[in-house]
Amino acid sequence: MPTSHGPIESILTIAEGSFHAADLAEGDLVYVEARQTVGDALPWMDTGDIDVAPRREDATRRYVVREELWQVDDLVKVYDVARAMDISRLWTGDVGLGEALELLKDHGPLSAWWSSQ
């Protein structure tokens, strides 16, 4: 038997179906240079409050995480500490808002925040 939804639940259902991950995605990415040192990249990321930055390359396949750079010597090159992108965590822009938030909650930057709530 279907459950009846109140006005708030109906609005949330419409919003989840109307908005997609691409609507919330950052379209103007900033890149860290592969040959930059951690000592140069980390202050730039801290100042810009950048948690994750892709490494500049012809086909972007690696990225750095600011929190991880805090543990690395300043003279190490970003090239040497960048992580490979896990293709299982790449989503298309047409993923619905509700699903995108669930994915972020389980695997993305929201996971640490969500577990602290």
Whole-number percent of the chain with pLDDT over 90: 32
DSSP one-letter string for 34-80: TTSBHHHHHHHHHHTT-SEEEEESSS--EEEEHHHHTTS-TTSBHHH
Query: Which of 86, 74, 81 is CA-nearest to residue 40?
Result: 74
Which neighbouring-strand residues pair with 54? 63
* pLDDT greater than 50 at residue 1: no
Report the chain's mean pLDDT, rounded to a whole number. Answer: 79
Residue 4 belongs to some domain of the structure: no
Structural domain of residue 28, as residue ranges? Answer: 16-116
Three-state DSSP at 20 gives strand
Tally of structural domains, the chain = 1
Query: Which of 78, 83, 82 is CA-nearest to residue 40?
Result: 78
Question: What pLDDT digit, counting tens, does each position of 15-63 carry?
Answer: 667 776 666 666 678 899 989 999 999 999 999 999 889 899 888 888 9
Q: Residue 5 — very low, low, confident or very high, per pLDDT cuts 50/70/90?
A: low
Backbone angles phi and psi of 114, in degrees to 5: -60, -40
Residue 9 belongs to some domain of the structure: no
Residue 10 belongs to some domain of the structure: no
CATH number of the structural domain spanning residue 43: 3.10.580.10
Residue 6 belongs to some domain of the structure: no
Residue 5 belongs to some domain of the structure: no
